[in-house]
Amino acid sequence: MSDELSWKRTKYAAEIDVDDYNTEVTLCGWVQNIRDMGKMAFIQLRDRSGITQVTALSKTMDPEIFKAMTSVSRESVISVHGIIKQSPQARAGWELIPYKMWLLSEAKTPLPLGVVDKVDADMETRLDNRFMDLRKQNIQAIFKIRSTILAAVREVFLEEGFIEIQTPKIVATATEGGTQLFEMKYFDRVAYLNQSPQLFKQTMMATGLDRVFEIGPAFRAEDHDTVRHLNEYTSIDCELSFADLDDALEILEKVIQRSYTEVLNNNFIDLDLLNHSLIAPERPFPRVTYSEVIKKLQTNGMEIRDEKTGAKRTIEWGDDIPLEGFKNIAHDRPSLYFVTEWPMSLKPFYIHPHPDDPEISLGFDLNFGEKELVSGGQRIHEPELLKEMIRKKGMDPEKFSFYTKAFEYGMPPHAGWGLGAERLTMILTNASNVRETVLFPRDKYRLVP
Ligand code: AMO
């Protein structure tokens, strides 16, 4: 053994195979557990790929190193150089017999949060100590899957000829209606954090770039505290021109399908850690109209509270579908399905009316059971109609002139959608709370860390 040995990692635990037996390696990570048997000690060394059993034998080691190894605190960061030996008793079929150890960073005791504790800590404690929470393999699994999803999404967009864009997050007006805006000071003016790239991605359709996508933050000052809403989320947006609703749906189906197949191909260990199994959906996804949903809910006796009178009454055409309604629908449709032909009154001003009926829109949602994953639609590209719709929604088209202007000098027909990265991650990881899918969630109560 040379004195020149470096503490730097030569392999991850999961990279060790039979070819490495009887060879020397350096593994780095966190001390998950130590079992000191006197003459022998077992150390569980965890890196992001898995856990290594380090078997230290006092008689074959420098006593100083043996002592250091057995007295190190749990969750300290160490590097261990040694030899890989086949071992039927070890879970991986091999163990690391150490020659040398470097204590790279010692963990204080007690730990703010256990990494291998049987009892689950509550969400607040976990999020307050997220760096520690993320040491758990099943929590890391969620973010490995999230990373695969975003790579798959990007891959499909690039294959389909989309150009990646970044649009401003500091803006002067609302996008998705006047509520739910975070206000901020912008020198001597008021500005807002953008709720969606909507107006900018549509503006790109007037430039001839034709197909654009953006993966970026969106901010919603949602007052309510639910397991589906965040105040900052990652929006996967796209817009395509010389295109209609069907073209937008087809791209979306490809994006969702590829996300499933890539997770199945790359994250089987993570799915296993999460006790989750997936079946990639087939294209095309089923479609159901808003009217069909309403009819079904009426048959099932769904009642809602009337907004004007406050009295309970049967749900009617024109009512928004509450979560309870979608839970009802989810009995028959537990997986992916589109809801199309929503009333114009329930969709934002930029959604195109149906050519056969001005009350019906060319807007859609994609749901997974009761969960809404995506909204989108065919857009209005006619400038006069657009201004009329802005007015109809009680807003001043003058305030949107920066946007409507782009429609007056040649704007092709276009369509697009917005998909919440966290909502998709929830489905592919089986997370029951959207906060599980963000490193540092921002909700009404949480701004730190
Ligand atoms: P919408 O407001 O429906 O549509 O949002 C689109 C998708 O974004 C996700 N999402 C959220 N995820 C977590 N927390 C939130 N508070 C939150 N709000 C929205 C959901 C939702 O389906 N501009 C349109 C899209 C378009 O037409 O292109 C829009 O933003 O997954």
What's 383's domain CATH number?
A: 3.30.930.10
Q: Give the CATH number of the domain where residue 96 resides.
A: 2.40.50.140
Ligand 1, atom 24, lies closest to the CA of 418
Together in a domain, 281 and 403: yes
324 is a domain residue: no
Q: Are 165 and 214 in contact (CB under 8 A)?
A: yes
Together in a domain, 101 and 137: no
Pairing state of beta strands 336-340 and 287-289?
A: parallel
Domain, as residue range, for 344? 132-286+333-437
Contacts of 155 (CB under 8 A, 6+ apart): 258, 262
pLDDT for 117 equals: 77
pLDDT for 428 equals: 98
Indicate whether residue 370 lines ligand 1 (CB < 6 A).
no
Instruction: Give residue 178's pLDDT band: very low, low, confident or very high (50, 70, 90).
Output: low
- Give the mean pLDDT of 294-322: 95
pLDDT for 3 equals: 59
Q: Which atom of ligand 1 is nearest to the CA of 239?
A: 28
Q: Which atom of ligand 1 is nearest to the CA of 222?
A: 16
Together in a domain, 206 and 88: no
Q: Pick from 169, 235, 236 the residue to mutate for probing ligand 1's pocket: most ligand atoms within 8 Å of its CB.
A: 235
Q: Are 414 and 377 in contact (CB under 8 A)?
A: no
Please tell me what DSSP assigns to residue 298: H
- Give the mean pLDDT of 402-420: 98
322 is a domain residue: no
Ligand 1 mean position to 347 CA, how many Å? 12
Please tell me what DSSP assigns to residue 272: H
Mean pLDDT of the chain: 96
Q: Are 415 and 240 in contact (CB under 8 A)?
A: yes
Residue 250 above 70 pLDDT? yes
Indicate whether residue 372 lines ligand 1 (CB < 6 A).
yes
Together in a domain, 261 and 367: yes
168 is a domain residue: yes
Ligand 1, atom 23, lies closest to the CA of 198
pLDDT for 177 equals: 65
26 is a domain residue: yes
Together in a domain, 269 and 403: yes
Together in a domain, 100 and 162: no
Indicate whether residue 202 lines ligand 1 (CB < 6 A).
no
Residue 77 above 90 pLDDT? yes
pLDDT for 303 equals: 95
- Give the mean pLDDT of 160-188: 90
Distance CA 195, CA 184 (A): 13
307 is a domain residue: no
Partners of residue 36 on adjacent β-strands: 41
- Give the mean pLDDT of 208-213: 98
Together in a domain, 188 and 269: yes
Residue 295 backbone phi and psi in degrees, to 5: -60, -45
Together in a domain, 163 and 57: no
Q: Which atom of ligand 1 is nearest to the CA of 235?
A: 8
325 is a domain residue: no
Indicate whether residue 229 lines ligand 1 (CB < 6 A).
yes
Residue 179 above 90 pLDDT? no
Instruction: Give residue 174's pLDDT band: very low, low, confident or very high (50, 70, 90).
Output: confident
pLDDT for 223 equals: 87
pLDDT for 192 equals: 95
- Give the mean pLDDT of 429-447: 97
Instruction: Give residue 55's pLDDT band: very low, low, confident or very high (50, 70, 90).
Output: very high
Please tell me what DSSP assigns to residue 72: P
Among the listed residues 402, 360, 412, the one whose alpha carbon sits nearest the alpha carbon of residue 382? 412
Indicate whether residue 374 lines ligand 1 (CB < 6 A).
yes
Together in a domain, 154 and 70: no
3-state helix, strand, coil in the chain (%, to 5): 30, 30, 40
Distance CA 433, CA 314 (A): 30
Please tell me what DSSP assigns to residue 366: E
Lookup result for tokens 């919603």: 220
- Give the mean pLDDT of 72-96: 96
Q: Which atom of ligand 1 is nearest to the CA of 374?
A: 22
426 is a domain residue: yes
Q: Please give the tally of structural domains in the chain.
A: 2
Ligand 1 mean position to 411 CA, how many Å? 24
313 is a domain residue: no
Ligand 1 mean position to 299 CA, how many Å? 29
Among the listed residues 66, 71, 70, 67, the one whose alpha carbon sits nearest the alpha carbon of residue 82? 66
Together in a domain, 91 and 181: no
pLDDT for 286 equals: 98
Indicate whether residue 230 lines ligand 1 (CB < 6 A).
yes
Ligand 1 mean position to 202 CA, how many Å? 16
Q: Which atom of ligand 1 is nearest to the CA of 229?
A: 14
| pTM assigned to the model | 0.96
pLDDT for 1 equals: 52
Together in a domain, 209 and 70: no
Distance CA 360, CA 354 (A): 5
Instruction: Give residue 53's pLDDT band: very low, low, confident or very high (50, 70, 90).
Output: very high
Distance CA 306, CA 220 (A): 26
Q: How far out from the chain centre does Cα 229 lie?
A: 12
Q: Are 278 and 256 in contact (CB under 8 A)?
A: no
Together in a domain, 30 and 141: no
Instruction: Give residue 2's pLDDT band: very low, low, confident or very high (50, 70, 90).
Output: low
Indicate whether residue 239 lines ligand 1 (CB < 6 A).
no
Among the listed residues 154, 158, 149, 155, the one whose alpha carbon sits nearest the alpha carbon of residue 266? 149
Indicate whether residue 378 lines ligand 1 (CB < 6 A).
no
